[in-house]
């Protein structure tokens, strides 16, 4: 898996203070996508074991309390990203008690395959669906267009 950006302290992508990872790779090609540079799987740079360790350490850093981890992109549920994302969310669940996980995907919850669903089973909030320019509404919170749904799973 490749990634584009990692923000160890982020107050924009989800509630509270968070760690946020933008991964590479997306098949949805939404018109008006603000992150087209992330579409290619081989864009960005490799996601390393050292960065995974850093994310875990940042989530547990007592100097700046993080509410949780945000996963965006690109698409964290691109099939090529799912194995690495699953390992990461499993680690957050095991090693970062009390932290929530929010994930943005262009797939709809109802169309996820079994591997993608294993990730979703471990996260707290899924924001799903493609960005549809005709349904864009800047007043929406955590989503760009009104077809997208904020699923508060657990």
Q: Which ranges of the chain does DSSP label H, i.e. alpha helix?
A: 49-59, 82-95, 114-120
Q: What span, in angstroms and rounded, lies between the C-alpha atoms of 41 and 23? A: 9
When asked if residue 17 is in the footprint of ligand SF4 (CB under 6 A), the reply is no
25 makes contact with ligand SF4 (CB under 6 A): no
Distance CA 145, CA 130 (A): 8
Contact pattern for ligand SF4 over residues 126 through 145, marking x by CB under 6 A: ----xx--------------
29 belongs to the binding site for ligand SF4 (CB under 6 A): yes
- d(CA 139, CA 75) in angstroms, rounded, equals 23
Q: Output the smallest distance, CB 74 to ligand SF4, in A.
A: 6
Selected from 6, 7, 13, 35, the binder of ligand SF4 by CB under 6 A is: 35
Identify whether 74 is preceded by a cis peptide bond (ω within 30 of 0).
yes
Instruction: Please state the closest distance from residue 90 (CB atom) to ligand SF4, in A.
Output: 24
Asked if 112 is part of the footprint of ligand SF4 (rule: CB under 6 A), the reply reads no
Minimum separation from the CB atom of position 98 to ligand SF4 (A): 29
Nearer to ligand SF4 by Cβ, of 66 and 148: the residue is: 148
Nearest of 31, 23, 120 to residue 74 by alpha carbon: 23
């Amino acid at each position: 898996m490749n990634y584009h950006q990692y923000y160890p302290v982020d107050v924009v992508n989800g509630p509270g203070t968070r760690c946020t990872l933008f991964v590479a790779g997306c098949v949805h090609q939404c018109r008006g996508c603000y992150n087209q540079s992330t579409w290619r799987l081989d864009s960005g740079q490799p996601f390393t074991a050292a960065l995974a360790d850093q994310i875990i350490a940042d989530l547990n850093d007592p100097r700046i309390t993080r509410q949780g981890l945000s996963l965006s992109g690109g698409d964290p549920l691109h099939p090529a990203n799912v194995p690495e994302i699953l390992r990461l969310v499993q680690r957050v669940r095991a090693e970062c008690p009390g932290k929530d996980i929010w994930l943005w995907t262009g797939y709809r919850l109802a169309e996820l395959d079994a591997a993608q669903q294993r990730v979703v089973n471990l996260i707290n909030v899924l924001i799903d669906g493609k960005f549809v320019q005709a349904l864009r509404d800047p007043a929406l919170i955590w989503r760009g267009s009104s077809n997208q749904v904020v699923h508060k799973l657990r």
